[in-house]
Structure formats: C-alpha cells, structure tokens
Amino acid sequence: MNRLILKPGREKSLKRRHPWVFSGAVAKVQGNPGAGETVEVWSATGEFMAVAAYSPQSQIVARAWDWEHRAIDGDFFRERIERAVTCRRSLMGDAAAMRLVHGESDGLPGVVADRYGDTIVLQLTSAGAERWRDAIADALLGTGGVARIWERSDADVRALEGLPPVTAALRGPREPTRVVVTEEGLQFAIDLVHGHKTGFYLDQRDNRQQLKALANGRDVLDAFCYTGGFALNAAAGGAKSVVALDSSAEALELAKENAALNGFAQPEWVEGDVFQLLRKFRDSRRFFDLVVLDPPKFAPTAAHAEKASRAYKDINLLAFKLLRPGGLLFTFSCSGGVSADLFRKIVAGAALDAGVDAQVVAQLGAAADHPVALNFPEGEYLKGLICRVPG
Ligand code: SAH
C-alpha cells in the first residue's frame, strides 16, 4: 500500500480532522503512488491517520477521504453523495436549483456538484476527484431525477494540481447551453457553458430573499449584478427603481433576458466598471435607498489580502456616500483570503471615512446547501453584512 509518512508532530491538524496534508509536513512517500491514487497517511510514530488522495504536484499533497481504514471505491462515492443529497433534501426540500455537493465540507475534497433542474454541473478541482470522475458521475446519476451531467472543470485552481481545464458532457445529451430554473418564484436562465462558476451564484439564495423583503418602495442599486440575481429580486420586492451594473456584456445580456422572462420592465442595466460608475454617481449626486455590493473574489488567498482590502474599502466607502438617510447597504466578500473579522473592519473603516455612523443590522453567509464542516473553516468563504445608516 502506498503511504505518506508525516514528519514528527505534523499529524496535529489531521487529528482535528482537517482534511489537508501540506507537502512540508511529509517526511517520506512509500510505494509509488500516481496522481489521485489513494494513499494511507501515517504519523511519524506509526499511527494511522487517514486514507487520502495523493496530489503530487500540489502544495496540498494529499486530501483525506476518510479517517478510517476503508476502501475508496464506487461504494464510497455512492455513500458520500447520498449523504450530501439527504442533507439537502432535509433542509431545502425539492428546490430546483441547489448545490448537492460542497467539496471538503461534504467529505468530498475537490468535488462540487450543482443541480439545475434535471442537469447537474460537476466541477472537479483535485487530482483525487479527477481520478474518480466516473464513480462520482455514476453516483450523482443515481440520486434521482438527473438526466445529464455537464462537467465544468475549468476553475483556475486546477492548474495548481497540474490538471488541464475540462468542459464536456459527462453523462446524457451533449452541449447543454441553457437551462431555466425557478428560484423562490423567479425564473433565471442559466448559461451552463460560459457562465461564471457552474453558471449561477447559488450561494446568495437566502440573501436575495432578504433583499426582496427590504426592497419595497426603495431606489435600489445592484453593483456587480451578473445575471440579475439581486436586481430582479429587488424588482419583485416592489422597489421604486432598480439600477444594475456589471462590466460583462454577456452577463447583462442574460440579465435582460431574465428580466423579460419575469415580465419586469426595470431594472436599468448599465455596462461598465463599478469603481468608476460609483464615482460618477457620487459626483452627480445620484442617491439610493439600498445598495448591493457583491464583487468578484478580490483575494483568492491571504497573500492577496492587502490589495483586496483597498478595493473593498474603496467600493464600500463610495456606497456609504450614495445612501440616503435610513438607507441599507448589502455588502459581501467571497474572498477566502479575507476573514469575516477583517471584512467587518474594512467596512467599519469605509463608514468612518465616509462620515456615516452605520450599524450592522444582519450578518449574512452562504445558504444551507453550502454547509461548512466545523473541521474545515476554509469552507466559510462568503461573508455579508447588512448595514443601515441613520435615518
Ligand atoms: N450578485 C450576483 C453575482 C455577482 S458575481 C448574483 O447574485 O448573481 C460578480 C460580477 O462582477 C460578475 O458578473 C463580473 O462580471 C462583475 N465584475 C467584476 N469586476 C467588475 C468591475 N470592476 N465592474 C463591474 N463589474 C465587475
């Protein structure tokens, strides 16, 4: 059996059931494991720690599949995927669009599976997940109501594992281009081939509902609107007006289609750079009652935190300046490299510099289909705050 033997004392995180083994923690590789193959991880003192997938090219040289001595095979993936799907069913019923598998937090490192109606979009980001592609696809197919599996393994992180980007029909008909799903009464067309992530930001589901509940009668600005998730919920919630900004012409094209699908004459869609557009609104004294800031990941890792902090501070400061008295700011960070604590400090600094005494009235995170395993704090990437400025 292939084994990784750890350096003395380097078994501590595995004992806390954190699934990552860093290359610097490994003293010796026994046997000749290939990329993605199953290895046993043993401590320097001869204690069995985990069965894991080997990623020879990555700094995360192994990811634990399990803490028991067990076979990693088709049954293992069927069991894990069944467990993940049962969790979703019990929390979210039969929602048409949801994340079925959320990587490490579901005991499946490197595996993300999102369901849009009868289509599953699968993203594999580790050598171990790559090795078990067929077993994973078959297990997903067996969860019921699934007609096809479309693979979108084109995330940048694959390069760190030495894996090429893959976009392909894995099971079922070829080339799905569009699906339409209903989320809480609104229809969204999703571009599975070119859209961001697996096509849609499922993680913001609950936060879009919060916005809908607070939008009535307000002038709403949705910055970084993508295909209109927040903007259309603002319209559905009775917003007086909605302006939505994005730099991507393709995203806005689909956003407009989504508005038409739901019969909305608004929002007003503006293509451009949010950093510049917010300044333009400030300079022309155009004010709003509710602003949403849902930017892309400015800091994928902690190494980018400083530059990212400046960008977050900039847009939050501008947003505070655009709010009328009593206005609300929905502000988010999906950067793994910026902690919830740091994010709150950045927003506090922005309010201070904008000269407003804002309060946090709610703290937001990803929806329940993006659970965070307690042994894997890295899973908590999406943080949000609703801030209110005094009326
Ligand atoms: N709120 C959306 C998701 C936003 S994703 C939802 O709920 O669906 C982030 C979006 O920011 C992407 O659509 C991307 O095109 C856009 N974007 C990135 N940088 C930008 C910039 N500087 N100005 C405007 N839009 C930008």
pLDDT tens, 296-328? Answer: 999 877 888 899 999 999 999 999 999 999 999
Q: Give the pLDDT confidence score for residue 176 in this predicted structure.
A: 65
Alpha carbons 33 and 1: distance in angstroms, whole number: 9
Check whether 127 has a pLDDT greater than 80: yes
Average pLDDT over residues 94-120: 96
The model's confidence at residue 179, banded by pLDDT at 50, 70 and 90, is very high
From the CB of 330, is ligand 1 less than 6 Å away? no
Query: What residues does 187 pair with on adjacent strands?
Result: 182
Catalytically annotated residues = 334
The answer to whether the Cα torsion of 240, 246, 251, 253 is positive or negative is positive
From the CB of 134, is ligand 1 less than 6 Å away? no
Token pair in block for residue 366: 């990803």
Check whether 175 has a pLDDT greater than 80: no
pLDDT digits (tens, 9 = 90+) for 131-163: 999 999 999 999 999 999 999 999 889 999 999
Pocket test for ligand 1, best of 194, 247, 278, 292 (most atoms within 8 A of CB): 247
Q: Give the pLDDT confidence score for residue 302 in this predicted structure.
A: 80
Q: Give the pLDDT confidence score for residue 93 in this predicted structure.
A: 86
Average pLDDT over residues 100-106: 98
Q: How far is the CA of 242 from the centre of ligand 1 (A)?
A: 16
From the CB of 275, is ligand 1 less than 6 Å away? yes
Q: Give the pLDDT confidence score for residue 387 in this predicted structure.
A: 98
Q: Is the pTM of this model over 0.75?
A: yes
